[in-house]
A and B are shown apart, each in its own frame.
Chain A
Amino acid sequence: MIVFKSFFKVLRNYKMSLIMYLVISLGVIYILSSFNTKGNATYYRVSQGIAVQDNDKSEISKGLIEYLSTINGIKNAADYTDDQITDMIYYTKLSNRLLIPAGFGEAYLNGADTAALKIESTKEAGARMGYSVETEIDSYLNLLSGYLAGGFNVEEAQKLTMEALADNSAVSVVADVKVEDDKIFTIFQMLPYGILTMLFSAVLPVILRFGSMLLKKRSDISSTPVLKRQISIALAAGVVSVFIVIALITLASVLSEEAFTGRWWLIVLNLVTLSLTVVMLVVAVSNLNMKPEVSAGFTNVVGLSFSFLGGIFVPIEYLGSGAKVIGQFLPTYWYSEAMTRIKTGGGFNDILNCLLIQLLFGVMVMGVGLVAGRCIEKRTA
């Protein structure tokens, strides 16, 4: 119990770091969320570049392309080589390359569940713009099938679909529905930075202090078993971490004015998973027998690098190819990826692999940290 209590007494010395990073996190959240406030915000529909290869040439495929052309810039894929299209996608001049297979229209009208019904969409992994185009296609085809089922012929159904989608987008703008939708994502997207910096700047130095060579040796001589002390430290660190995560979730929920909805639970699950991973990262670093003073440097390096490379501060699609490759090895990248999937309507199964990758990262780093810690301890014994 004395170790558990003393953890908090030592932690008192790092309260300024906690407050500082909390204020920074809230400041960033406030600034970013203020871009998405309700009221007079203006919504601009973003136009994407799409390269289309229509192997079907049916009324349905032509109608779809016509609809997409009202929103996006359409290019004929046949005018470019594969390499040129790949380069254009890489440099974000194109968001997608769409391949409409032969027989698509017929399969669509017959309601057949065949390969011909599948439009092949090539896009940059994790790119929001790519998902946006796919959402437009799904919306068009779903609505069109509704009108066809209602007894309209193809020409009438296409006309009504076009009108309805145009009306819907107008309604969306007036009601600011889309703006509200984005707020929770904008706010929760920033929380990993707060969790990383607060845990690294406050919890890490306290664990490092208890594990410092002299104090550890002095405590090992005592009649309190090592395991009992370690459990007390782990419990105390856990309590602090849980408190920080709950506080941030509460603040973020209040700011986003959304809680306990389906997607809110998914977002919270994603954040809790990331927090668990960060705790494992803290445990790994705490085994390296460093002085508590180095935690300030660690906080900045880890906080900023994980946030930038993981798409916390800047959307993943804006990162360079090298940064993206590195980012994929960070848990924050998969946190952002999960957020994107939730935003585009993904459920638990859609984000499960992102959650597992985050946890895998934590387990691996913690394993490496524990082994390295043992080696250091043996070398210095």
Chain B
Amino acid sequence: MADTIVEVKNLVKRYKELIALDNFNMKIEKGEVFGLLGPNGSGKTTTINCILSLLNFDNGEIDVFGEKMTSSRYDLKKRIGIVMQDVAVFDELNVEENIDYFCGLYINDKNKRKQYVDEAIAFVGLEDFRKFKPKKLSGGLLRRLNIACGIAHKPELIILDEPTVAVDPQSRNKILEGITELNKKGATIIYTSHYMEEVEQICTHILIMDKGKNVTEGTAEELKRSIKNTENIIVYIKNLDDAHVKAINNINHVYDVSYMSGRLEIKCAGGRHNISHVIDYFANNNLDYDRIYSELPTLNDVFLEITGKNLRDKE
């Protein structure tokens, strides 16, 4: 039986009139890369802050490593690493000094700390930038420094709150590889992000929350199977009139069609050979298209179907 690392039971957090968390539940097992997803304002960061005892909550329970988490449980905090959404480092200290400082908040032994700092620098690939101050680092390197500060003390539970915001693809890839490696070494990861492809790539279990409540959870495949959408057909075609759009919507198994800027997106629910039916429609109506292809639904489709397409306020 797997060990439970974090268990959140019926968590309620209110900000005056606003209910940020409404009987929220979450269970994270040892060795998981747990993806916590939700639109802006859904309560992700509030949940993390409550787990870390940075915020008091109105009701519910939070257990970390099987024990009740409070702000004075420094023994539990020692086993947790956090990589915050905003880079939190000293502008006045160089890379090595920054990592040493944050590692030093957990590890007193100087020799051990030096070894951990060296390992963290190597892990995030900042060997050539040891003496650089944060202002001299690019966005990607800065994010890597932020990660190194969070993981240098070798925590068992690592919380990464949108660690790849505003990072180029190369750095993002390096960060994602690093997270997978940390997980392989035994760390349990809580990962929040708005980049669905990242979550799909690294998370072994995903929970989607909205308006402070659990909406659904499971593996990426389980979530994809749980939604209505089974296939997306994309067609690049110029000057398609509304009558054709309506007609395509009536093709068998098609339940939603959108056309914008020469891109036609057809969503299908169930059925087989749906793309053949669409091609037949174009052939029968003498419509020329540039390109047509079919793709399986992504986590992004799951997310949008579950949480809707309306814009949300920032959390």
Contacts and interface: CB of A to CB of B under 8 A. Distances in A.
Judge: A and B partners, yes or no: yes
Interface of A: 1-3, 6, 9-10, 12-13, 209, 214-215, 217-225, 381
Interface in B87-139: 87-93, 97, 100-102, 104-106, 108
Given A9-B97, A221-B54, A223-B77, A2 B90 contact: no
B74 interface: yes
A381 B71 CA distance: 15
A214 B84 contact: yes
A9 B74 contact: no
B77 A6 contact: no
A193 B267 CA distance: 74
B310 to A, nearest CB: 28
A218 B97 contact: no
Contacts of A214: 84, 86-88
Contact of B92 (A1, A2, A12, A225): A12
Contacts of A222: 77, 102, 105-106
Interface in B43-90: 52, 54-55, 72, 74-75, 77-78, 80, 82, 84, 86-90
Interface centre among A220, A221, A222 (most CB of B within 10 A): A221
16 contacts: A2-B101, A2-B104, A2-B105, A2-B108, A3-B104, A6-B93, A6-B104, A9-B93, A9-B97, A10-B90, A217-B88, A218-B88, A218-B102, A223-B78, A223-B105, A225-B72
Given A222-B105, A223-B74, A223-B75, A6 B52 contact: no
Contact of B100 (A2, A209, A225): A2
Contacts of A10: 90, 92-93
B21 to A, nearest CB: 16
Given A214-B84, A218-B88, A221-B80, A6 B106 contact: no
Contacts, number: 64
A209 B92 contact: yes
Nearest to B89: A215
A224 B52 CA distance: 14
B222 to A, nearest CB: 32
Contacts of A6: 90, 93, 97, 101, 104
Nearest to A13: B92
Given A10-B93, A223-B75, A225-B74, A218 B101 contact: no
Contacts of A223: 74-75, 77-78, 105-106
Contact of A217 (B77, B84, B87): B84
A10 B90 CA distance: 8
B100 A215 contact: no
A113 to B, nearest CB: 66
Given A2-B100, A217-B84, A222-B77, A9 B92 contact: yes
Contacts of A209: 90-92
B167 to A, nearest CB: 18
Contact of A218 (B82, B106, B108): B82
Contacts of B93: 6, 9-10
A221 B52 contact: yes
A91 B272 CA distance: 103
Contacts of B97: 6, 9
Given A215-B89, A217-B54, A381-B55, 9 more contacts: A6-B93, A209-B91, A209-B92, A214-B84, A217-B88, A218-B149, A220-B54, A221-B82, A225-B72
**A-B pairs with lowest CB-CB distance, top 6:** A2-B104, A222-B105, A223-B78, A218-B88, A214-B88, A13-B92
A44 B145 CA distance: 68
Contacts of B104: 1-3, 6
Contacts of B90: 6, 10, 209, 215
A174 B242 CA distance: 110
Contact of A221 (B72, B77, B92): B77
Contact of A219 (B55, B72, B92, B105): B105
Contacts of A13: 92
Nearest to B146: A218
Nearest to B94: A9
Nearest to A10: B92
Contacts of A224: 74, 105-106
Contacts of A381: 55
B74 to A, nearest CB: 4
B150 to A, nearest CB: 9
A359 B77 CA distance: 40
A209 to B, nearest CB: 7
A107 to B, nearest CB: 70
A217 B88 CA distance: 9
Contacts of B82: 218, 221
Contacts of B78: 223
A166 B93 CA distance: 67
B90 to A, nearest CB: 6
Nearest to B159: A221
Nearest to A12: B92
A215 B106 contact: no
Contacts of B102: 218, 222
Contacts of B108: 1-2
B58 to A, nearest CB: 14
Contacts of B105: 2-3, 219, 222-224
A215 B102 CA distance: 10
A219 B89 CA distance: 10
Nearest to A222: B105
A13 B133 CA distance: 11
Contacts of B86: 214
A6 B55 CA distance: 27
